[in-house]
Each structure stands twice: as structure tokens, then as C-alpha cells.
Amino acid sequence: MTKSPAIAVMGASGRMGQMLISQVSAHEGMTLTGAVERAGHDWIGQDVGVAMGGAALGVIVTDDAAAAIGTASAIIDFTAPAATLAFAAHAAKSGAVHVIGTTGMTAEDIAKLEPFAEKTVIIRAGNMSLGVNLLTLLTKKVAAALDADFDIEIIEAHHHHKVDAPSGTALMLGEAAAQGRGVALEDVSDRGRDGITGARKRGDIGFAAIRGGDIVGEHDVMFAAPGERIVLRHIASDRTVFARGALKAALWGQGREAGAYDMLDVLGLNDA
């Protein structure tokens, strides 16, 4: 008997893709029905469980995203910006809930999702863990309580394969800090310092990125004033925290009104 809802995982061979395949296939309340990779990938045509080095899961990896999305109740997508936009068009057409973990999307990319969110449920977050989403609320509160004597710096560290910076999480935290301060992040964001940068501008929100080894994801929000410093920190030591959030989002989105949502909506924390 088929369990419901039917879930397709995009980018099945990726670090997050494999984690998601394992969690969806082990979940009692959902059925893995699709595993998508790009055309030419050597997993295409293989059972996804076997390709991952384990037991067969009865789902063949496909490059036919439209077909996999067309039969899914929800798709979970931790891939790359161009792929995510292409999958969004298919999901809008079929009505599948689209859970987006992909980072590195530009403001223009995000704007392109808007018409799709009129047709189906899109849940997008640069970090799907409970801890980081709580940290955004704490960051907003602390930023609102302090004035610009406290310089806000966001420091993130990730594995050496990561292709985008600042991380999606760092940008979420920067956005939360800016909201707390009552300013627009694009007006105060200071990214990529190098060379003779001049002194730090009062009120700026700075970003710094570290890349090395197998670091899963670490984020500090520092409030630094003369004589004292507050640091809010989140450390992810296992990617399951992101996958768990994504599965929760896929279930939460079922039967919901079309629209653009985030993990605070899923966690019921948007009014906190």
C-alpha cells in the first residue's frame, strides 16, 4: 500500500540529497517516489538506494524532473539556483509543494519565484534547522535592544566544497539583525573586506566567511562594543538537522493555500 504524501528529492546524489533520500525512505508518514539528478549523471537509471551504496529502495534515479515532480505531492530541493528555478516552474504546474533549501539565490532569482508561489506552496529557508530559526528571533531581539555602539558582525564557517558566500544562514541572520535595528540590510551590509577598506562604518552589518575541511555549518552573530561583546552561536554538527526541517516543511505544506512561506511559518514561530 502506498503511504502518503509522495516525495521527490531533487539533486539526489548531493550531500543533502543523500541525507534526504535516507530520511524520507525511513519516514513512516511519507513515501519516496522520485530521485532526480541532472542529465548525464552516472546515477541515472540506477536504484537510488543501490547508487548510495545500500539496499534497493525501489526508486530509479531519473533526469526527467517534470515527470518526477508531476507525480509528487512535495519536492525537496537542495540543489543550485538555476535548477531550483526550473523545478519551481514544474511544481507550480503540477501543484506539488516545493521545499527549497538551495542557497546562493540572488534577489532576482527570488523574485522569479513569486509567480510560482501564486500557484503552489513554496517553503524556502537558507537554513531549515530549528536552532538557526530560533537564533534569528534572538538576533532580532538583541539587535532591537542595542544601539549602533554595538557593531554587528556575522561570521560563518563551512566545508571546503561550499560554493556560495555569505551562507544563506548568514544572510538570514543579517536580515534578522537589520529588522531588529529597523534598517534595510542592503543599505548597511558590508561584505568581502580586503585591502585598505577604511574604518568600519557605524551601523554596518559585517559578514565574514571561513571555508575549510568538513565543517557542517557554524554561525556567530557578534555584537561588539567598547569593553564588551555578546556572541550568539549556532553549530550544526550533523546535516540531519536540515533534513529533519525539510521533511517537516513538506508535511506542513500539504493542503495549505498557495503562497511563499519560510521555516518560521512551519515552526509556528512567525509571531514570536
Ligand X SMILES: NC(=O)C1=CN([C@@H]2O[C@H](COP(=O)(O)OP(=O)(O)OC[C@H]3O[C@@H](n4cnc5c(N)ncnc54)[C@H](OP(=O)(O)O)[C@@H]3O)[C@@H](O)[C@H]2O)C=CC1
Given the rule CB under 6 A, which residues bind ligand LZUJQKHR?
103, 126-127, 158, 162, 167-169, 217
Residue 162 annotated in active site:
yes
Residue 174 binds what, of ligand X, ligand LZUJQKHR, none (CB under 5 to 8 Å, by partner type)?
none
CB nearer ligand LZUJQKHR, residue 65 or residue 80: 80
- Of 209, 135, 201, residue with least CA distance to 172: 135
Is residue 125 part of an annotated ligand binding site?
yes
Restricted to residues 64-83, the positions that interact with ligand X (CB under 6 A) are 78-80, 83
- What is the C-alpha separation between 43 and 51, in angstroms, rounded? 6
Q: Is 158 a catalytic residue?
A: yes
Residue 14 interacting with ligand X (CB under 6 A): yes
158 binds, options ligand LZUJQKHR, ligand X, none, Cβ within 5 to 8 A by partner type = ligand LZUJQKHR
Which of 37, 153, 156, 262 is close enough to bind ligand X by CB under 6 A? Answer: 37
Establish how many alpha carbons lie within 13 A of residue 15's alpha carbon, considering only the half-sphere containing its beta carbon: 14
From the list 140, 162, 219, 234, the catalytic residue is 162
Q: How far is CA 193 from CA 16, 125, 206, 207, 208, in A?
A: 30, 26, 9, 9, 8
User: Percentage helix, strand, coil, to 5, in the chain?
Assistant: 35, 25, 40
In the set 90, 140, 158, 234, the catalytic residue is 158
102 touches ligand X (CB under 6 A) = yes
CA–CA distance, 114 with 123 (Å, rounded to integer) = 12
Q: Supply the minimum distance, in Å, between the C-beta of residue 4 and ligand LZUJQKHR.
A: 29
The residue within the footprint of ligand X, chosen from 9, 21, 35, 36 (CB under 6 A), is 36
> Smallest distance, Å, CB 155 to ligand LZUJQKHR?
13
Spatial CA neighbour of 267 closest among 135, 79, 78, 166? 135
Q: Return the sign of the alpha-carbon dihedral for residues 126, 127, 131, 133.
A: positive
**Catalytic residue numbers?**
158, 162
